[in-house]
Amino acid sequence: MRSATKLLSLLISMVVAACAGESWNVKDAGAIGDGTTDHTAVFQRLLDEAGKVGGGVVDVPAGRYVIKGNLSVPAGVTLKGTFRVPPTVQRNKARELAGSVLLAYAGRGQEQGTPFIRLAGDNAAISGLVISYPEWKQTDVPPIPYPPCVFAQHAENVGIENCLFLNPYEAIKLVHAARHLIRNVTGYPIKRGIYVDECYDIGRIENVHFWPFGVHYKHDDPYCKWINTQGVAFELARTDWQYVHNTFCFGYGVGYKFSRTKAGSANGNFLGLGADSCERAVLVEQAQRPGLLITNGEFVGRWGSKDAVCLEVATNAVGKVSLVNCSFWGPIDRCVWMRSPVGQFTASACHFMSWDVRAAGSPAIQLDAGRAIVQGCTFVKEGTHVQIEKPVASVLLIGNQASGGFVAENHAGKRTQLSANELSPVEWTAEARKHYRVAVGAEGDGPYLRFWHGRDAPAANGKQHTSRWSAAESQLKLPVVPDESYTLTLKLNVPAAGVSSDAGLYLDGRKIASLEVGTTPLTAELPPSHAEQIILKVICAGWVPSRLNPASKDGRTLGVQLSEITMRSRGGGKRVFQANTGEWK
């Protein structure tokens, strides 16, 4: 009798709630959230009931709800869990998930299968949920594909808020979903995080954080490396007036990808973008002519990579790519690579801290083609700051500051214009060229070195010893007085691993001195040259510290360690010009 009364009361409350447009509750409808019972039918029944009366909220109390089928959220209906902030989970602790957790099983191995949740009508939404894939394993490499976790097509004003997507193959896919709102979302999607196409009326993506939640992360772990080379965090194809604000991704092949479909490509406003440990932080394959406006971005190359580029504008990408107040650091080969002959790139008030991670002489900004403006930017490292290739149409470099002076390697002649950039503090006179010294590893050594590793850290005992390591082949670029002979002295530390039969110092392809093991000066006589600069090569047997010593974490290919260069012509006086600072001693 009591059971019948309780059931009648439950049915009456559900009818009243439906008629009043109030919320439905999956536990009131019989769901138990025990982590084993399939609740697909209960969830879908309540979603359908809410949809039939014009919309409402289907509440999901705390619990672990197995969903072995697929869910469809009708127009005007929200599937709502307990979270009012974007939930997260610690590394490798998915079994400890609390709150409103949906366990997704359907579609394993079927990338093109039915989505786990379809936002099937206008104003359909999910909120406050954790969606996890219990059959996921970090040992599955390549990862097992699944259909999109949440999908919407031909539905406007759909929403996803305060949700964690735990290891889905693809988290969110929106096609022809105008005025979508994705906000306060976390997770570590595998192949792709968010994809948008055919959005013709202002979509919004805000406060999204894709990071290795629930994953035991190591940059060289096969699973992590797969995402770090194959995965895409955000991909935007045809979308008009897209707004992306305060978003972050870590450990992807591409952080932000701007692609093209038959419907076209993107334009929009991108504020506060972050991409850490990405092979390509931003990849522009195509853009609309109004352009991509990227402000306050922070971009870092992929950990362990030697060829990461933070922003690549691909060949034939039209439109303008504009960076304002962005910063670049970490293991980067080139910060910016502009390749499109029909595009335009602008960097204003940006800060370039790191590049040329493989000591190959790469510039911070490489301009292969098209039009570009670099103005009011700062460069921390010495070396080549902007490299301009012959095919460019127009390049303006204005008001930039750089350690040791702003350096542009220009192969485009008058199509490059430079104005008011910081000059080198070192003024070379004929007398200075006759007798000078370079403290290698100290500030100001950059103009004289090419293909050398970064400056060594100070010694633990506090001594002011400075130095750099060469690669297997490195260069010295040394000023000279034309038609005068010189004596060159190098202070070197030559390890046995760096010596081979051809190891030595070369001028114009001819060995002029051999390398000997130990910490000894190397002296060489240099014949007169008609130029104002000579280039010498230091060639050694490349060696990797971590291969020789298992305790070392240094994976660089090293050669010899150089601490000082002294050049003195036969007509040089006793005074020595300090080439790092421009002072005399």
pLDDT tens, position by position, 50-87: 999 999 999 999 999 999 999 999 999 999 999 999 99
Confirm if 409 and 389 have CB atoms less than 8 A apart.
no
Residue 3, pLDDT > 50, answer: no
By mean pLDDT, which of 192-196, 365-369, 529-533 is the weakest?
529-533
Round to whole Å and give the CA distance between 344 and 396: 12
- Rounded mean pLDDT of 119-124? 98
pLDDT band, very low/low/confident/very high, at 459 (cuts 50, 70, 90): low
| Segment (H or E) for 576 | none
Q: Please report where in the chains the tokens 């290795």 appear, as a residue.
A: 212
By mean pLDDT, which of 201-210, 467-476, 522-531, 550-559 is the weakest?
550-559
pLDDT of residue 13: 42
Round to whole Å and give the CA distance between 105 and 113: 12
Instruction: Report helix, strand or coil for 387.
Output: strand
Round to whole Å and give the CA distance between 295 and 292: 10
Annotate 30-95 with DSSP letters as a single string. Answer: T---EEEEE-HHHHHHHHHHHHHTT-EEEE--SEEEEE-S-EEE-TTEEEE-S-SS-----TT-GG
pLDDT of residue 140: 97
pLDDT band, very low/low/confident/very high, at 461 (cuts 50, 70, 90): low
104: left (phi over 0), alpha (psi -120 to 50) or beta: beta
- Rounded mean pLDDT of 21-36? 91
Backbone angles phi, psi at 134, to 5 degrees: -60, -25
pLDDT of residue 18: 43
pLDDT of residue 268: 97
Round to whole Å and give the CA distance between 283 and 230: 13
- Closest-CA residue to 569 (of 528, 536, 541, 531): 528
Q: Please report where in the chains the tokens 């060594």 appear, as a residue.
A: 456
Residue 17, pLDDT > 80, answer: no
pLDDT of residue 94: 55
Confirm if 149 and 181 have CB atoms less than 8 A apart.
no
Domains with residue ranges and CATH for the chain: 21-216 (2.160.20.10), 430-584 (2.60.120)
The greatest distance separating any two alpha carbons of the chain, rounded to the nearest whole angstrom, comes to 115
Q: Which two tokens stand for residue 212?
A: 């290795």
Residue 226 half-sphere exposure, CB side, CA atoms within 13 Å? 16
Confirm if 28 and 57 have CB atoms less than 8 A apart.
no
Strand partners, 301: 278
Residue type, 241: W
Round to whole Å and give the CA distance between 190 and 375: 37
Decide: residue 36, CB within 10 A, 0-12 exposed, 13-18 middle, 19+ buried.
Answer: exposed
Residue 386, pLDDT > 60, answer: yes
Q: Which two tokens stand for residue 240?
A: 């008009």
Strand partners, 210: 187, 249
pLDDT band, very low/low/confident/very high, at 249 (cuts 50, 70, 90): very high
Residue 154, pLDDT > 80, answer: yes
Share of the chain above pLDDT 90, in %: 86
Mean pLDDT of the chain: 93
Confirm if 348 and 323 have CB atoms less than 8 A apart.
yes
pLDDT of residue 259: 97
Confirm if 133 and 166 have CB atoms less than 8 A apart.
yes
The three-state DSSP-derived secondary structure of 401-419 is: EECCCCCEEECCHHHEEEE
Instruction: Report helix, strand or coil for 464.
Output: coil
By mean pLDDT, which of 13-22, 279-288, 542-551, 576-585 is the weakest?
13-22
Residues 6+ apart with CB under 8 A from 551: none
Instruction: Report helix, strand or coil for 306.
Output: coil
Residue 358, pLDDT > 90, answer: no
- Beta-strand relationship, 254-258 and 468-479: unpaired
Residue 22, pLDDT > 80, answer: no
Confirm if 240 and 198 have CB atoms less than 8 A apart.
no
Backbone angles phi, psi at 280, to 5 degrees: -135, 110
| Cα 115 to chain centroid, rounded | 29
Residue 15, pLDDT > 50, answer: no
Count the Cβ atoms, other than its own, within 10 Å of residue 398. 15
pLDDT of residue 95: 61
Confirm if 352 and 377 have CB atoms less than 8 A apart.
yes
Confirm if 256 and 233 have CB atoms less than 8 A apart.
yes
- Closest-CA residue to 231 (of 262, 191, 260): 191
Q: CA-CA-CA-CA torsion for 15, 16, 17, 18, nearest 10 degrees?
A: 50
- Closest-CA residue to 271 (of 236, 241, 247, 299): 247
| Segment (H or E) for 195 | strand 192-197
Confirm if 52 and 22 have CB atoms less than 8 A apart.
no
Instruction: Report helix, strand or coil for 465.
Output: coil
Residue 385 half-sphere exposure, CB side, CA atoms within 13 Å? 30
The three-state DSSP-derived secondary structure of 242-290 is: EEEEEEEEECCCEEEEECCECCECEEEEEEEEEEEEECEEEEECCCCCC
Residue 16, pLDDT > 80, answer: no
pLDDT band, very low/low/confident/very high, at 92 (cuts 50, 70, 90): low
Residue 12, pLDDT > 60, answer: no
Confirm if 232 and 251 have CB atoms less than 8 A apart.
no
Round to whole Å and give the CA distance between 186 and 320: 30
pLDDT in tens, 465-518: 799 999 999 999 999 999 999 999 999 999 999 999 999 999 999 999 999 999
CA 60, 61, 62: angle at the middle one, nearest 5? 120
Confirm if 534 and 502 have CB atoms less than 8 A apart.
no
- Rounded mean pLDDT of 446-453? 90
